[in-house]
Amino acid sequence: RLRDGRALAEDVWSIFNAANLPADCINLGQGYMNFPPPNWVREAAQESLSRVETNHYSHPKGRPRLRKAIQSFYSPQFGRELDIEKEILVTSGANEGQYSVFTAFLEKGDEVIMFEPFFDQYLPSVIFNGGVPVYVPLHPPKAEGKSTSNDWSLDFDELRRAITPKTKIIILNTPHNPVGKVFTRVELEGIASLAEEFNLLVMSDEVYDGLVFDGNEHVRIATLPGMWDRTVTVGSAGKAFAATGWRVGWLIGPESIIRPTLAATTRIVFCTNSPLQEAAAVGLELAPKYNFFQIQRDEYAERRKVLTDCFDSLGLNYTFPEGGYFALLDISNVKFPDDYPFPKSVQGRGRDFKASWFLALELGVSSIPVSEFYCEEHAGIGEAFLRFAFCKDVDTLHRAVERLQGIK
Ligand code: GLN
């Protein structure tokens, strides 16, 4: 299965997994937190484990309590009363939700547009479901020094040219992983009008919706005129409550999208783990009382500052992220020896893989090489960057940036 080569290759998360790196390496690679979920969410998890029914199968749609919590939390944001039976689907993490959308909708040869760089998981998920990925670039900023994530720009003529009679889905990701871009209302209107003109579905991955900084507005494309009926929005308890290993996520959309996707997810996992659905429900129920998301956003803005202050002091080009918890560092001018003993998994990969490996072993800070978020043809663009995650407590970030001062 030649066309699946990339999809079957070892993934970047496994190559740069903490288990493959020195024990004292600080992980700014794969995006997960080094702090626990809030106490009241953990207590809810423990409580649900001690009950009987919450240890057993849920309805494939998701537990009613979580669907109700999603309804209460999100209905105001979507400007409509979400129907818990028809318009909300709990999934085993955002990944599985998105996979199920592709399973439900893609027929062999259907084209799926993704903005490049793209979260790597989209590519194999599309290919395994018979789809053909089509890449539309987010153009990196041209200016030297510090740029912001919103300087990564989309060319609407390029997007239009990428659409063919076989195009079925556009994947949107805002706030964007790995760039941190928060798509503006104007950009989303441009995407929406093409989706309408060519009758496309939009899969809008909004798992970092709680992490939009500096007064930027998180606009949900599903709320633009005419877009509800053709958009499925993806959410994540892992991102919301510092619980990425829980694998609890959700999809919100019209019945015409949720119903077929429910059929797919029912056959893939049957249902999502029950006890942690209960805990995620409590998370959404109590978040307003604790002002949780506002406080969390402020904490992340502080974490971001520790990392980006370091990049400033290094005098390297980088992208200041408006959303999410990643920052891209331009490593075009960073030096490392070619003959370093790289492991097999890194040999033969891009310069960014080698730089990332070298920095992890020599300085003790891991990162993710950005060429993994590009198709093979455009990997060279991504090779200029490493992605650093700042979903870590401030002390850890301070230790990491001290080590990063050793970058040459
Ligand atoms: N979304 C996370 C990241 O980008 C984790 C990746 C994954 O799902 N394997 O780091």
371-400 confidence digits (pLDDT tens): 999 998 999 999 999 999 999 999 999 999
Residues 6 or more apart in contact with residue 19 via CB below 8 angstroms = none
Closest to 169 measured CA to CA, from 201, 128, 132, 212: 201
Q: Are residues 158 and 260 in the same domain?
A: yes
Mean pLDDT value across residues 22-44? 97
- Domain count of the chain? 2
Mean pLDDT value across residues 140-151? 90
296-314 confidence digits (pLDDT tens): 999 999 999 999 999 999 9
Residue 4 is predicted with a pLDDT of 59
Mean pLDDT value across residues 340-350? 93
Distance between CA 29 and CA 368 in Å, rounded?
A: 5
Ligand 1 centroid distance, CA of 30 (Å): 6
E strand residue ranges, 241-341: 249-252, 318-320, 326-330
Q: What sign has the CA pseudo-torsion 365, 370, 373, 376?
A: negative
| Range list of H helices, 245-273 | 255-268
Residue nearest atom 4 in ligand 1 by C-alpha distance: 31
Residue 146 is predicted with a pLDDT of 84
Report whether residue 177 contacts ligand 1, using a CB cutoff of 6 Å: yes
pLDDT at residue 292 greater than cutoff 80:
yes
Ligand 1 atom nearest to 389, measured from its CA: 10
Residue 2 is predicted with a pLDDT of 47
Helix (H, G, I), strand (E, B) or coil at 301: helix
Q: Are residues 346 and 323 in the same domain?
A: yes
Distance between CA 282 and CA 41 in Å, rounded?
A: 6
Q: Are residues 89 and 212 in the same domain?
A: yes
Report whether residue 13 contacts ligand 1, using a CB cutoff of 6 Å: yes
**Most ligand 1 atoms within 8 A of CB, residue of 11, 28, 30 to mutate:** 30
Distance between CA 224 and CA 203 in Å, rounded?
A: 14
**Inter-axis angle of helices 39-49 and 274-290, nearest 10:** 150
Q: Give kind and range of the element (H or E) at residue 171.
A: strand 167-173
Q: What sign has the CA pseudo-torsion 327, 347, 355, 148?
A: negative
| Range list of H helices, 53-204 | 64-78, 93-105, 122-128, 156-162, 185-197
Report whether residue 98 contacts ligand 1, using a CB cutoff of 6 Å: no
Q: Are residues 103 and 249 in the same domain?
A: yes
Q: What is the CATH number of the domain that holds 12?
A: 3.90.1150.10
335-344 confidence digits (pLDDT tens): 999 999 999 9
Q: Are residues 32 and 97 in the same domain?
A: no
Q: Are residues 264 and 327 in the same domain?
A: no
Q: Are residues 48 and 127 in the same domain?
A: yes
Ligand 1 atom nearest to 119, measured from its CA: 4
What are the tokens at 344? 């097999």
100-124 confidence digits (pLDDT tens): 999 999 999 999 999 999 999 999 9
Mean pLDDT value across residues 200-209? 98
Mean pLDDT value across the chain: 96
- From residue 244, alpha-carbon distances to 30, 121, 280 in Å are 11, 15, 12
Ligand 1 atom nearest to 31, measured from its CA: 10
Q: What is the CATH number of the domain that holds 216?
A: 3.40.640.10
Q: Are residues 29 and 109 in the same domain?
A: no
157 class by beta-carbon count within 10 Å (0-12 exposed, 13-18 middle, 19+ buried): exposed
Closest to 212 measured CA to CA, from 150, 273, 275: 150
50-85 confidence digits (pLDDT tens): 999 999 999 999 999 999 999 999 999 999 999 999
Q: Are residues 50 and 12 in the same domain?
A: no
Domain range enclosing 365: 2-36+293-404
Residue nearest atom 1 in ligand 1 by C-alpha distance: 31
Residue 5 is predicted with a pLDDT of 75
CA 293 to chain centre: 18
Q: Are residues 24 and 70 in the same domain?
A: no
Which of 264, 290, 316 represents a domain boundary (last residue)?
290
How sure is the predictor about 177, in pLDDT bands with cuts at 50, 70 and 90?
A: very high
What are the tokens at 166? 């076989």
Which of 290, 324, 340 represents a domain boundary (last residue)?
290
What are the tokens at 94? 């955002």
DSSP string across 220-231: -GGGSTT-GGGE
Closest to 248 measured CA to CA, from 68, 92, 138: 92
- From residue 163, alpha-carbon distances to 133, 138, 140, 273 in Å are 12, 16, 22, 38
pLDDT at residue 154 greater than cutoff 80:
yes
**Most ligand 1 atoms within 8 A of CB, residue of 10, 11, 12, 13 to mutate:** 13
Residues 6 or more apart in contact with residue 407 via CB below 8 angstroms = 314, 316, 334, 359, 363
Ligand 1 centroid distance, CA of 193 (Å): 30
Ligand 1 centroid distance, CA of 398 (Å): 23
Ligand 1 centroid distance, CA of 387 (Å): 12
Ligand 1 centroid distance, CA of 372 (Å): 12
CA 399 to chain centre: 25
Distance between CA 25 and CA 408 in Å, rounded?
A: 18
Report whether residue 272 contacts ligand 1, using a CB cutoff of 6 Å: no
Residue 87 is predicted with a pLDDT of 98
pLDDT at residue 3 greater than cutoff 60:
no
**DSSP bridge partners of 390:** none
Q: Give kind and range of the element (H or E) at residue 135.
A: strand 132-139
Report whether residue 125 contacts ligand 1, using a CB cutoff of 6 Å: no
Q: Are residues 264 and 345 in the same domain?
A: no
Residue 279 is predicted with a pLDDT of 98
Report whether residue 31 contacts ligand 1, using a CB cutoff of 6 Å: yes
Which of 290, 321, 352 represents a domain boundary (last residue)?
290
Q: Are residues 165 and 50 in the same domain?
A: yes
User: How much of the chain, in percent, has pLDDT values that exceed 90?
Assistant: 94
